[in-house]
């Protein structure tokens, strides 16, 4: 299969260098469209007034915090199962962005919860499981950075990523499984969305923007991990960016 | 169009602190992450350049 050639760090370095500028450009363009739709086209909410506009960053950040963790678990599984060299590098490259989105989800949630529920924080199933996700991200980052040997760090990190991924469906279904203060899903695969079309569009465009940003960031960051791990390889010495 | 003036826009129906507090932290978080990633790249490249120069210096008679 042709894409397996990118399992070689050298090929991934080149591919990542071509992808990240496109992903960042796409993220910027989608953000501009998403914010325009969210702030200028979408009307005020009939119940929440203007405060609901937090949704255009809160939901995309929350979704991406889960998507990135699943992506990490996928790479971890690939790394443990097939011993591909770049898997651990991709897992590590994704983690900081996932942690950032998870933090942003909790922060924007607190700023939305205060005016709507009267509380910055409640120990509700949705909020608590998202907080656990943040601790999983931070635990993954701390663990992989504490181990000097890259292969052992990758393996230990992969175990955290794979064990922790059970938390993702718990977050997603928490609003169904428990009685929560957090509202149910506004968008689901089985029902038509419970929100106005333009609001939905703004939210989806912002989600794609965050997605493109995460792709750009992961591919930008993985190049540095590749350079550090392959610093003795001949191809690294020939790169024009390190020519004196 | 949902706004009659910029004042109305910035006021966000009285929820300015919450709405701009959310968007502000998202912006700052993304800016900090980009800055850290750029800094990391320049540090990695610098370390590689140095070790290469040292290797050349070692080869010299």
Q: Is B61 part of any domain? A: yes
* CB contact (8 A) between residue A97 and residue B33: yes
Residue at B9 is within a domain: no
Domain boundaries, chain A: 51-219
Interface contact A103, partner B, CB < 8 A: yes
Residue B46 domain boundaries: 31-61
- What is the predicted pLDDT for the residue at A169? 94
B47 assigned to some structural domain: yes
Q: Does the residue B2 lie in any domain? A: no
pLDDT value for A177 = 85
Residues listed for chain B: 61
A71 at the B interface (CB within 8 A)?
no
Q: How many residues does chain A have?
A: 244
pLDDT tens, residue by residue, B1-59: 568 899 999 999 899 999 999 999 999 999 999 999 999 999 999 999 988 888 777 66
Cross-chain residue pair B26–A61, CB shorter than 8 Å: yes
The chain B residue lying nearest A241, using CA atoms, is B45
Tell me if B19 is assigned to some domain.
no
B52 touches chain A (CB under 8 A): yes
Q: Which of B3, B23, B45 is nearest residue A57 as measured by Cβ atoms?
A: B23
Cβ contact A222:A23 at 8 Å = no
Chain A interface includes B28 (CB < 8 A): no
- The residue whose two tokens read 């080869």 is B59
Instruction: Select the more confidently predicted residue: A59 or A181.
Output: A59
Task: Please report, for residues A107, B6, B8, the alpha-carbon distance to residue B1 in angstroms, rounded to integers and kept in the order given.
Answer: 28, 12, 12
Q: Do A96 and B48 touch (CB under 8 A)?
A: no
Decide if pLDDT at A225 tops 80: yes
By C-alpha distance, which of A139, A142, A167 is closest to A66?
A: A167
Per-residue pLDDT at A46:
82
Distance CA(A79)–CA(A63), nearest Å, equals: 24
**Chain B interface test: which of A68, A99, A111 (most B C-beta within 10 Å):** A111
CB contact under 8 A, B37 and A220: yes
Residue B10 lies in a domain: no
CB pairs under 8 A between A and B: 87
Digit-coded pLDDT (tens) for A200-218? 999 999 999 999 999 999 9
Domain count, chain B: 1
A144 backbone dihedrals φ, ψ, rounded to 5°: -65, -30
Poorest-pLDDT segment among A79-83, A134-138, A221-225: A79-83
**Are residues A244 and B52, on separate chains, in Cβ contact within 8 Å?**
yes
Q: Do A100 and B29 touch (CB under 8 A)?
A: yes
Average pLDDT for A86-115? 96
Cβ of residue A244 closer than 8 Å to a chain B Cβ: yes
In this structure, is residue B42 part of a structural domain?
A: yes
Is the separation of the CB atoms in A91 and A79 below 8 Å? Answer: yes
Stated pTM of the model: 0.92
Per-residue confidence (pLDDT) for residue A16, from 0 to 100: 96
Q: Is it the case that residue A192 has pLDDT exceeding 90?
A: no
Question: Could you report the per-residue pLDDT of A41-72, keeping only the tens digit for each?
Answer: 988 888 888 999 999 999 999 999 999 999 99
């Amino acid at each position: 299969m042709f894409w397996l050639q990118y399992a070689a760090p050298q090929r991934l370095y080149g591919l990542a260098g071509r992808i990240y500028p496109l992903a960042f450009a796409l993220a910027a363009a989608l953000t501009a469209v998403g914010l325009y739709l969210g702030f200028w086209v979408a009307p005020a909410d009939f119940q929440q007034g203007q405060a609901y506009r937090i949704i255009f960053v809160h939901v995309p950040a929350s979704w991406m915090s889960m998507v990135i963790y699943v992506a990490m678990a996928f790479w971890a599984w690939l790394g443990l199962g097939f011993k591909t060299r770049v898997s651990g590098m991709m897992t590590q490259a994704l983690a900081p962005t996932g942690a950032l989105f998870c933090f942003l989800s909790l922060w924007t949630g607190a700023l939305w919860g205060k005016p709507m529920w009267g509380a910055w924080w409640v120990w509700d199933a949705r909020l608590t499981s998202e907080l656990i996700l943040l601790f999983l991200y931070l635990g993954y980052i701390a663990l992989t950075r504490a181990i000097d040997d890259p292969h052992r760090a990758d393996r230990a990190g992969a175990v955290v990523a794979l064990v922790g991924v059970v938390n993702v469906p718990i977050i997603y279904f928490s609003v169904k499984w428990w009685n929560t203060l957090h509202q149910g899903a506004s968008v689901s695969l089985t029902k038509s969305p419970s929100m106005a079309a333009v609001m939905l569009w703004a939210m989806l465009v912002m989600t794609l923007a965050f997605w493109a940003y995460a792709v750009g960031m992961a591919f930008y960051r993985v190049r540095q991990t590749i350079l550090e791990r392959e610093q003795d390889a001949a191809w690294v010495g020939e790169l024009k960016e390190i020519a004196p | 169009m949902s706004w009659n003036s910029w004042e109305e826009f910035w006021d966000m129906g009285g929820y300015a602190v919450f709405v701009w507090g959310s968007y502000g932290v998202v912006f700052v978080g993304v800016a900090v992450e980009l800055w850290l990633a750029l800094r990391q790249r320049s540090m990695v490249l610098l370390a590689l350049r140095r070790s290469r120069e040292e290797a050349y210096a070692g080869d010299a008679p």
